[in-house]
Amino acid sequence: MFVQRCGVSVAITLLFAWMITTSSANASSSNDHPFHSSPEAAVREKKIKPSVTIQPAADSRQNSYPIILVHGLGGFDQLYSLKYWGGLNDIKQDLTKRGYDVYVADIGTVSSNWDRAVELYAQIKGGRVDYGKVHAETHGHARYGRTYSGLYPEWGEVDEETGKVKKVHLIGHSMGGQTIRVLTQLLQNGDKNESASTDSETLSPLFNGEKKPWVASVMTISTPHDGSTLTYHVQDVFPKIQQLIAAFAAVAGNREIMDYDFKLDQWGLKRLPGESFDAYMKRVCESKIWEKNKDTSEWDLSLPGAMELNRWVQAQPDVFYFSVSNEQTYRSILTGHELPEPLMNPAFYSFSIYMGRHTRKTDDFVVDRRWFKNDGMVNTRSMDGPSLGSTDLIVFYEGQPERGKWNHLGMMRSYDHLDVIGWGVRDLRPWYRELAALLASLPE
């Protein structure tokens, strides 16, 4: 099958597409239990409240920096009635009503964290995406990408009234957490290879090495800082992909999801006008991008790829870092493996079972039972902050955040990978209000 050349990244994107069409169909039929087989199961899940309560660092708002929401693998801003941040609700709109400036990024769905980070930079600041001369030549894709007007063009400028730099808070879900770490690293340190090999007139400001203290905080949710063992599940995933495509069409009444865009323009894989999703998918899967290439999400989400990223992407001393972990598995008393809880999204069952028992040993790391607990896509062990190949420090947050360290906010128990962004029956808007209040309480 042509899809066998794609990575697990595309398989998961297709899984998301199935969920999108399912949610849309459920919404249109007034179904109040998306992803559940019965209203009773939905009622049980609604009773499970967030186990992570957020304590602000101060009693009042100390800053008014905008919040940028950054999606993970396979993500988007909005498709049909489904918001990436909130599902059938709208987290951005809810926070905006409460006085926060919030923007939602929409970057490459299966691209590498480097490519996604430079796209995010251009999308926030405005301008043409510059992947870097050296990076583009090394990996064999175009140097320049799309042009954006800017979500927050004044980002990085000095406020004339306060004399202070206009910063942002970055919140990333899943791979989005890795992406915002990379962006923060590049803003503060640039890239020596790019600056040494690129004409100063064409060098992107992101790579020039001039410190840009433009990020107030980094918040990661369900992020595979040390990678996910799901990336080893490729051979088991592929046979299901074409079945999933057929399922999308059936659930959506043969509706073209088909508004979906992988945003792989740099690889010459821009979706053509009128092109069917199946034809677009075939072009993506037959591309050279998947041939021993490290410039993809597939590599960055693997354990060796995450370790490589962790070695050069470090916590910056003047930035607040926060992390949230989650899980929805239980330990089998018979095998000691982790199994999906009954209320986990059924689409994650096979993934969760695989991660809940997978072991591996290499010269660089050991995957043992500590990696078993998961949320259906990411090992919980990987979520509190980077450790493989990293010197970053991880501390537990107790009301007084520390700059330059990972302040772990705690574990969301019985929440799968999409529950934490509101895909399901639980309304996560109140919880995100707590996160926003924490960020606004940080000192300037």
* Residues that are catalytic: 174, 375, 417
Cβ atoms within 10 Å of 13's Cβ, excluding its own: 23
- Give kind and range of the element (H or E) at residue 363: none
Q: If DSSP codes are grouped into helix, strand and coil, which group holds residue 70?
A: strand
Q: Give the H or E element holding residue 340.
A: strand 338-340
- Report d(CA 443, CA 435) in Å as an integer: 15
Torsions phi, psi for 433 (to 5 deg): -65, -40
427 C-beta neighbours (distance < 10 Å), count = 16
Round to whole Å and give the CA distance between 108 and 190.
Answer: 21
Angle at 63 between CA 61 and CA 67, to 5 degrees: 105
Ordered alpha helix ranges (H), 140-276: 175-189, 192-197, 234-237, 241-251
CB-neighbour burial class of residue 162 (10 A; exposed 0-12, middle 13-18, buried 19+): exposed
- The partner residues of 165 in beta bridges, in order of sequence, read 158
Pairing of β 215-221 and β 168-173 = parallel
DSSP string, 82-104: EETTTBTS-HHHHHHHTT--EEE
Residue tagged 């990436």 (tokens):
84
Residue 70 β-bridge partners: 172
Which residues lie below 8 Å from residue 278, measured CB to CB, with a gap of 6+? Answer: 245
Tokens of residue 370, six digits: 């500590």
For 231-252, b/e burial (b = at least 16 CB within 10 A) is bbbeeebbeebeebbebbbebb
The residues facing 221 across adjacent strands are 173, 324
3-state secondary structure of 393: coil
Q: What CA–CA distance (Å, rounded) separates 109 from 246? A: 21
C-alpha to C-alpha distance for 66 and 172, rounded to whole angstroms: 14
The tokens for 186 are 């590049």
Are the C-beta atoms of 307 and 389 separated by less than 8 Å? yes
d(CA 392, CA 395) in angstroms, rounded, equals 10
